[in-house]
Structure 1
Amino acid sequence: MWRSFLFIPVLEERFIAKAADRGADAVILDLEASIAADRKPEARATLPDVVARLSPQIEVTVRINPLWLEAIRDLEACVIDGVTTLHLARSESAEDVAAIDGILSELEMERGLPTGRIRFIAMLESPGAVLRAESIALASPRMAGLTLGVEDYATAMGSSASDTLLRPAGAQVIQAARAAGVEPLVVPSSMADFRDFDALESAAKYARQLGSSGGYAVHPGQVNVLNRAFTPTETEIVWATRVLAAAVEAAKAGMGVFQVDGQMIDLPLVTRAERIIQQKSRT
């Protein structure tokens, strides 16, 4: 599970040099929005060296361009050892995801890499993509998560990236991800105001209450905000520990329902407690 991804432009040495020290669970080497069109070949050529430098220190993922030609060129560059996950910009349909999966599988076989090792996170950036979120999430066994591309989505909706617009869409993407058994990586907050850490924290806490497990950072200062918001609190850990201890005793007594501090506990709450402890163990 990822709490935080930090975008790193693959051609910016000053960002690459400190990327592994920022505290993010993974970095995203960006081949898409942060790279000018005339520098994309240079970015692809540079990528393997950057992956080799960073991958021993931190998990390395890559954002690729949308289909078709630019995406294929990106895949040829980033299907290498050290890359664990691809962020699929502007994922529009299950068919698009399946096509990328097929190309990726051919490249893995051609290069002697384990087929299926590289995972996907679909970036839903249009109203249509949000409506098709569950089918996109189920389109490939490589799919590991869904996220909402907040600024592109707002623009496509003819609006600004406000809470009023983003929160319902974020909830829809989170629910689709959970239904498909993949990670919801959604924080319904504008990426433009990247120094407004209070707004990000509020949106991240709201998203976690809806079931989101992490989010994206475009500034190093956002990483700690995301990590804090998506890490179980001490109160949650104490509650989960007490519930699991009581569950063991209840099982010995043949009880399916029991109480902890006056709260009725049954299987869904035991499962919730187990997840909290699992989340804590991954931090």
Structure 2
Amino acid sequence: MTMWRSLLFIPVLEEKFLAKAASRGADAIVLDLEAGVDPARKVEARVALPGAVSRLAPEVDVTVRINALWTQAFRDLEVCVIDGVSAIHLPLCETAAQVHAVSEMIGELERERGLPQGEIRLVTLLESAGAVLNARQIATASPRLVAMTVGVEDYATSMGVAATPDVLKPAVQQVNQAARAASIASFAVAASMSDFRDIDGLRAAASYARAIGSTGGYAVHPAQVAVLNDVFSPTEAELDWARRVVEAAETATRQGQGVTKVDGQMIDLPLVIRARSIVARGQASG
């Protein structure tokens, strides 16, 4: 499962943001070809993308948000299926068929360019009520798919309301369940991106999202990165418990026991699996 806690959007044509992108602390950078680029500058952005990737990739995981299907997206894929790109974010994804089509095109470009098959991964942005209802099918549409999220503003608009926690939380829960059922990550957080100064609100929303299964979230401002990294990292108490559970389980296995106890709690396989996941997340976050 993808271990990114924070993914920071960077408009590909904004040099002042590109220059500091790798030092912002985000686990991954999202070079934006979609909302962060004026429609009149799309061609310019595509020309600039490979240089931005080669500049950042040695220092941080680089991903790209392409435009929505179809024509603009295919033009974007032509320039972003290159060495150094870890994943592609597909906005306004509505169906499993769309995921399959994009995955197939990425695979064709990988073959043409001699890139390792399947190395460039996919993340889907579900941004309508219909897309959220299709979350289960979308989550299992391609082995290339490693995560999904809710595009909160577009989703709320499709519901005819503002992007408040009340309307976003059910969508986040549904996407989380679909993602976890498919053993992929979820970057869904029930918070509007419009007010990036509301750090306390982001922390509350991210904490709720983590409590119901989200593994990370998106940032549009560097100030949000530290919050996401903190919320989506295991606490010292969680790591201590997890390490002791793993150690106790290994000891029980050596002694031929099926279950054991830690702090008076009966430890069986589901708790061991959870503990190993926490340890892995702790290692990934340093």
Structure 2 length as normaliser, TM-score?
0.97
Q: Which residue of 1 aligns with 2:200?
A: 198
Find the aligned partners of 1:108 and 1:245 in 2 and give their Cα distance.
Answer: 42
Deviations 1:91-143 (A, max 9, x none): 11011111111222221222222222110000000001100011111111110
Of residues 84, 101, 104, the one that matches 1:99 is 101
Question: SS at the partner of 2:107?
Answer: helix
Q: Which residue of 2 aligns with 1:73?
A: 75
Find the aligned partners of 2:139 and 2:157 in 1 and give their Cα distance.
Answer: 23
Deviations 1:17-67 (A, max 9, x none): 000000000100000011111100000000011111101111100000111
Find the aligned partners of 1:102 and 1:266 in 2 and give their Cα distance.
Answer: 41
Find the aligned partners of 2:275 and 2:103 in 1 and give their Cα distance.
Answer: 35
Structure 1 stretches of 4+ with a deviation exceeding 6 A read none
Question: SS at the partner of 2:257?
Answer: coil
Q: Which residue of 2 aligns with 1:2?
A: 4
Question: SS at the partner of 1:165?
Answer: helix
Alignment of 1:160-175 (within 5 A): 160-175=162-177
Find the aligned partners of 1:96 and 1:242 in 2 and give their Cα distance.
Answer: 44
Q: Which residue of 2 aligns with 1:122?
A: 124
Of residues 114, 132, 135, the one that matches 1:133 is 135
Please list every run of 5 or more consecutive structure 2 residues that lacks an aligned counterpart in the other structure.
none
Deviations 1:135-171 (A, max 9, x none): 1111111101001100110011001111110111100
Q: CA RMSD in A?
A: 0.9
Of residues 257, 269, 272, the one that matches 1:255 is 257
Q: Which residue of 1 aligns with 2:28?
A: 26
Q: Which residue of 1 aligns with 2:57?
A: 55
Find the aligned partners of 2:255 and 2:84 in 1 and give their Cα distance.
Answer: 49
Of residues 231, 244, 247, the one that matches 2:246 is 244
The size of the alignment, in residue pairs, is 283
Find the aligned partners of 1:253 and 1:107 in 2 and give their Cα distance.
Answer: 52
Find the aligned partners of 1:279 and 1:108 in 2 and give their Cα distance.
Answer: 30
- Once the two structures are TM-superposed, the CA of residue 255 in structure 1 deviates from its matched residue by 2.1
Find the aligned partners of 1:95 and 1:28 in 2 and give their Cα distance.
Answer: 24
Of residues 207, 228, 231, the one that matches 2:230 is 228
Find the aligned partners of 1:271 and 1:100 in 2 and give their Cα distance.
Answer: 33
Q: Does 1:269 align with 2:264?
A: no
Find the aligned partners of 2:196 and 2:132 in 1 and give their Cα distance.
Answer: 24
